[in-house]
């Protein structure tokens, strides 16, 4: 049995806080709070659009969340500065543990896919820029369904696209909502708890595994085989 691994991209493989460096140039000490709120609103807007069935590309959610934060914090960013920040989202860095872990898992015979709320074009460009695109059999994006995780239909779409079975598929994600969505869809899932301060949602639905870095995955997945 060949296990399929569906890697979330933003926040799991790719460090969304990479934009913090640019924000600090513009906002100084206000940057960390601005960056965290921007990420929260980005996800919130995707959830709301999914529920409303009013789909727009994830980049639109990112843009609108930036506009919200600019108004909320009264930072009065210029149009040029906003474009500069949005451009950062196309060139975010991979986490330091990503490349070695993906290589190890690929060499061990796991099937690797990128599975994202982002558009296929944006994700492919991001992975290529980060130097980790070569490890994946493919990129599966929610744009084909015009919805977002954790819609159950999105997880079914992944299985169809990758020719995988739910009981042979693991989601790898640092986002608790994504892990809960995958487990609810009959998958197994590993939560990447990148910070000791990160809290998993207390819904009574738990990940099958918890790791603090991607480098722990092979050991955990081998034990589960």
Q: Find all residues with CB under 8 Å of 111, minimum gap 6, and list them.
A: 2, 3, 4, 5, 137, 162, 164
| Token couple for 78 | 């210029």
pTM (2 d.p.): 0.95
For residue 84, count other CB atoms closer than 10 A to its CB. Answer: 14
| Token couple for 168 | 């042979």
pLDDT band of 1, cuts 50, 70, 90: low
pLDDT tens sequence across 36-52: 999 999 999 999 999 99
pLDDT tens sequence across 58-86: 999 999 999 999 999 999 999 999 999 99
pLDDT tens sequence across 15-37: 988 899 999 999 999 999 999 99
d(CA 15, CA 8): 12
Which CATH superfamily includes the segment(s) 16-88? Putative phosphatase; domain 2 (1.10.150.240)
Q: Find all residues with CB under 8 Å of 122, minimum gap 6, and list them.
A: 57, 58, 59, 90
Q: Domain 4-14+92-224 belongs to what topology?
A: Rossmann fold (3.40.50)
List, in sequence order, every residue forming a beta bridge with 138; answer none if it has no partner: 113
Q: How far apart are the first and last CA of the chain?
A: 9
pLDDT for residue 17 = 86
Phi, psi values for residue 183, rounded to 5°: -60, -40
Domain locations in the chain? 4-14+92-224, 16-88
């Amino acid at each position: 049995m060949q296990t399929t691994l569906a890697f979330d991209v933003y926040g799991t493989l790719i460090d969304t806080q990479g934009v913090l460096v640019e924000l600090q140039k513009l906002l100084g000490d206000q940057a960390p709070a601005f960056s965290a709120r921007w990420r929260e609103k980005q996800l919130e807007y995707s959830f709301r659009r999914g529920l409303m069935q009013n789909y727009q590309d994830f980049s639109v959610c990112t843009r609108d969340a930036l506009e919200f934060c600019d108004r909320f914090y009264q930072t009065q960013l210029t149009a040029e500065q906003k474009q500069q920040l949005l451009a950062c989202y196309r060139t975010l860095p991979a986490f330091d543990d990503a490349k070695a872990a993906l290589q190890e898992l690929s060499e061990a015979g796991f099937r690797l896919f990128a599975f994202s709320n982002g558009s296929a074009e944006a994700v492919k460009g991001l992975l290529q820029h980060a130097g980790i695109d070569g490890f994946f059999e493919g990129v599966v994006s929610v744009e084909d369904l015009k919805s977002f995780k954790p819609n159950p239909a999105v997880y079914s779409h992944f299985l169809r696209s990758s020719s995988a079975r739910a009981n042979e598929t693991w989601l790898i994600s640092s986002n608790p909502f994504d892990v809960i969505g995958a487990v609810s869809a009959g998958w197994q899932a590993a939560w990447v708890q990148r910070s000791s301060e990160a809290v998993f949602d207390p819904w009574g639905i738990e990940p099958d595994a918890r790791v603090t870095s991607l480098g722990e995955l092979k050991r955990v997945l081998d034990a589960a085989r």
